[in-house]
Amino acid sequence: MKKVVLSCVVILAFIIYSMYQRTKGAEELPITLSKNSVSTPAPTETPLVATNQSVPTDTHTSTPSQNGGFKDGSYTGSVEDAFYGNIQVQATISGGRLTDVQFLQYPNDRHDSIEINSQSNPILAQEAIQAQSAHVDIVSGATDSSEAFVRSLQSALDKAKG
């Protein structure tokens, strides 16, 4: 009888601890920029959880801009695996320059994923616009998301080059 009661107490303690970590764990993750740039995508594993969202079609003009290396328009990148879900971005080109990056898909079904991506997505988009390329610093604490972002944005920018 003592073994059954002890087992129940251990299981209950584990459940309470798991629930605590799920709600508080992401708040403790530091999100900082790394000095290393992503140069080649790393192989990825099958995602544990994927988002199912519709993918908009590309809209773009057929004439290259005089002001930069890209054709004006909106270009949708490939869907890339970020381990806990997929990442897909849409790049907006205006005046031949990258002016906006929107996340069409990103892992957002777990509390930790929401916290991490709410911090890392704006950093990644801002860095890409400043760099005018997909070569951005990895965000520490969001390495898989950063690498998937780079691959998706690069595919969108490849479409914009023509």
Q: Where are the alpha helices (DSSP H) in the chain?
A: 2-24, 111-131, 143-161
Residue 17: CB partners within 8 Å, gap ≥ 6? none
Q: How far apart are CA 51 and CA 92, in angstroms?
A: 23
**Phi then psi dihedrals of residue 79, to 5 deg:** -80, 125
Q: Taking the model in full, what pTM does it have? A: 0.62
CA angle, residues 77, 96, 135, in degrees to nearest 5: 50
Question: What pLDDT score does 77 carry?
Answer: 96
User: pLDDT below 70 — which residues of the chain?
Assistant: 22-68, 162
| CATH 3.90.1010.20 given to domain 31-161 | yes
User: Can you say whether residue 33 is alpha, beta or left, with left for phi > 0 and alpha for psi between -120 and 50 degrees?
Assistant: beta
**What length is written for the chain?**
162
Question: What pLDDT score does 69 carry?
Answer: 85
Question: What pLDDT score does 64 carry?
Answer: 43
Domain boundaries, the chain: 31-161
